[in-house]
Homo-oligomer: A and B are copies of this chain.
């Protein structure tokens, strides 16, 4: 009742029906006129008083606040929507052969939920503010350190691990931590656009370096004076090369000599099908120049938004301070659940299962391409979630990618990832699609290639 009454009076003040300085009727009068209790009117006046629309003067009752005059100058617009509202859209699954998508149907949701329930049963602490953990729950940092030591040869204590919202936040934080406007970053070209965006946001200049089948190729003598080198040594994004030991060692020496940071993005190293994964570049680093970036987006699922950075000890504090300023800390229930999942061994079982499926899908895809004699060459196979397929030199990969899109396929051109002209090619993601989708996808590709050759 009082809300209705105060709302009505508020509107009358806003529209100027009640003028600044004007007396409101006494509570007794208004109660009588409206056939409501006097308490209701008193309550309504008090609401307007609290909001500043009216003033109370001793013995004179309530008057409309003079400040409300200013308000009249601004006509009250109805709450119309200025542009027609689009209908909200729903998240959809990726279309073949969108790169770097895991198969989220393999994610062991029931097991995950059991860990989550157990973790929540321990108490409400995870729900409360925990600003002491800007770089993640200690227990998760410790489980991730164990995992990285065992499986990637990473040398670190748990306090060097920082949990981030996916690896993208790790890259963004590093960009703002390590770079000043105008600094240079050497990047593989073609390379990962997410990293490029992060460096660009910090105002850095990107120096593209070519990539061959041993990984990034640094021009020996004429090395630019850079602050950071960004590399994907296990499985170069997007071409797929694994950086050779020679290149790794010389990269470490160069970084040390020039006092550069190396950011190693190990985005899908877990997926090797024909050999064991090569240890990380970080594992060879004797001088704390390598910052290791990884993610559970590919190994578990992207929806969790859980990534990590392994920092040299001196960078942990500044990284944590920046993360606090940026978003305080990341959601905790999933962090605690992931720690339990890692410690239980469930994660390793899940990885084995994914590896088996992804290997099968890659092999099947290559078989289908072979059978249809499509003009694609795959220089690097046997690992990763994606395959770079090289096209004959005279074809325009952007044009082919657009035509594939018209045929209902999502296959980006390699030149999309490049700053300088590169050999034409396409990037195929295979992990998220089952054999039926792969067969159908390849069969839809065939006419596009036939047309391109005509």
Contact = CB atoms under 8 A, between A and B. Distances in A.
Nearest to A201: B325
A12 interface: no
Contacts of A91: 125-126, 128, 130, 132-133, 137, 332
A245 interface: yes
Given A83-B313, A91-B332, A325-B197, A127 B155 contact: no
Contact of A166 (B3, B50, B327): B327
A297 B176 CA distance: 26
A71 interface: yes
B83 A107 contact: no
A142 interface: yes
Interface in A247-276: 247-250, 252-253, 275-276
Contacts of A276: 3, 6, 47, 50
A347 to B, nearest CB: 16
20 contacts: A50-B276, A51-B245, A51-B278, A67-B246, A68-B245, A70-B246, A70-B250, A74-B252, A85-B157, A88-B139, A88-B158, A92-B125, A94-B129, A102-B128, A104-B127, A107-B124, A127-B304, A128-B303, A169-B326, A172-B327
Contacts of A417: none
| 9 cross-chain pairs, A with B, having the tightest CB-CB distances, nearest first | A67-B246, A88-B138, A52-B245, A169-B327, A104-B127, A165-B327, A127-B303, A52-B244, A127-B301
A406 interface: no
Nearest to A49: B275
B149 A79 contact: yes
A249 B327 contact: no
Contacts of A125: 90-93
Contacts of A53: 245
Interface string A53-91: 100000000000111101100110101011101101111
A155 B198 CA distance: 33
A361 interface: no
A327 to B, nearest CB: 4
A299 to B, nearest CB: 13
- Measured as residues with beta carbon below 8 angstroms from the partner, the interface class of chain A is 35 or more
A138 B89 contact: yes
A74 B248 CA distance: 13
Within the oligomer, what is the number of copies of this chain? 2
Contacts of A70: 246, 249-250, 253
A360 interface: no
Contact of A286 (B74, B101, B166): B74
Contact of A129 (B137, B172, B297, B325): B297
Nearest to A303: B127
A141 interface: yes
Nearest to A14: B284
**Which of A81, A107, A166, A245 has the most C-beta atoms of chain B within 10 angstroms of its own C-beta?**
A245
A90 B124 contact: no
Nearest to A69: B249
Contacts of A159: 83, 85-86
Nearest to A85: B157
Interface in A188-214: 194, 197-198, 200-201, 214
Nearest to A306: B331
Interface in A94-110: 94, 100-102, 104-105, 107, 109
Interface in A133-162: 133, 137-139, 141-142, 149, 155, 157-159
Contacts of A368: none
A101 B125 CA distance: 12
B303 A130 contact: yes
A330 interface: yes
Given A83-B313, A85-B159, A124-B93, A245 B65 contact: yes
Contacts of A302: 127-130
Nearest to A80: B155
A46 interface: yes
